[in-house]
Amino acid sequence: MRPNGRHTAGASQLSALRVWAMGLLLLSAVAISPTTAKAAPSQAAAATTHVYLLRGVLNIFSLGLDTIGARLQAQGVPVTVANFVSWSSLADEAAAAYKAGRLKTIILVGHSSGATALPDMIAKLNQLGVPVKLAIGLDSVFKTKLSTGAERYINIYIGDGPGEPVRAAAGFRGKLDNVDIRGSGVGHISIDKNEAIQRRVIAEIDAAIMRSRAPAARVAEPAAPRPARAAAATDPARN
């Protein structure tokens, strides 16, 4: 017996609706989380925060980061949007501002190759004695390994696309969350432009700024060896 044409079409439509509904549920789960901030951070906390947003290859496929940056600026949060190749000079800039007391909270966001560069930027900041409060990667490509600490690292990636989970190396300190949004209908090029993803990123940033009253522990700078007598002496400035 040949299947009824109407029945077959109806089943196909029902299947498509189920896929669509599952996609919406996945995006809702990303957009709504326990850390979602209910209000913008205070002006004082925002003023001593800087968010660095790293675009991916060619500097033209990550323009959703510009939208995120504009929304944060509207809350009074200073931002820098740049191509991922600038990560090292941006780390130097952030470290100088932190040590001068102009910054208390450093937050990093990257898309594609910009997300892949985040562990390198975190490692350099740590080497300079500067903590990173929060880092968020959007579909990090290649094999990304996190060797040194951000207080929290969130990697939102598409498991059946070019993105990959971030792996923690031995000795990693901090909290690492890999969030797989496969099946949501979001693609590698569109993930940074998706409204639900942008809301999640901004909510996580707002929550981190609100927690900045208890800042991440300062990472100790590498110290040069000192003579035994000098090492044993008491430094009155530290008392």
User: Would you say 203 and 33 are in contact if contact means Cβ atoms under 8 Å apart?
Assistant: yes
Which runs of E-coded beta strand occur in the chain?
A: 49-55, 79-83, 105-111, 134-138, 145-146, 152-157, 167-168, 175-180
Q: What is the reported pLDDT for 213?
A: 62
Q: Is residue 3 part of a domain?
A: no
Number of folded domains that form the chain = 1
The residue segments making up the domain with residue 152 are 18-213
Distance from C-alpha of 146 to C-alpha of 118, rounded to nearest angstrom: 9
Q: Is residue 61 part of a domain?
A: yes
pLDDT, mean of residues 68-78: 97
Q: Is residue 93 part of a domain?
A: yes
Cα atoms in the Cβ-side hemisphere of radius 13 Å centred on 141 = 14
Q: Is residue 67 part of a domain?
A: yes
Q: Is residue 12 part of a domain?
A: no
Q: What is the DSSP letter of 79?
A: E
Q: What is the DSSP letter of 104?
A: S
Q: Which of 19-33, 36-50, 224-238 ranks highest by mean pLDDT?
A: 36-50
Q: What is the DSSP letter of 45?
A: H
Q: Is residue 230 part of a domain?
A: no
Q: For residue range 176-186, what is the model confidence (pLDDT) as tens digits?
A: 999 999 999 99
Confidence band of 68 (pLDDT split at 50, 70, 90): very high
Distance of CA 51 to the CA centre of its chain: 10
Among 23-27, 163-167, 172-176, 233-237, whose mean pLDDT is lowest? 233-237
Distance of CA 69 to the CA centre of its chain: 13
Q: Is residue 45 part of a domain?
A: yes
Tokens 């990090």, residue located: 140
End-to-end CA distance of the chain: 90
Q: Say what the pTM is.
A: 0.75
pLDDT(21) > 70: no
- C-alpha distance from residue 159 to each of 7, 56, 137 (Å): 34, 19, 14
The domain that holds 201 is classified in CATH as 3.40.50.1820
Q: Is residue 173 part of a domain?
A: yes
Distance from C-alpha of 31 to C-alpha of 201, rounded to nearest angstrom: 8
Distance from C-alpha of 120 to C-alpha of 86, rounded to nearest angstrom: 11
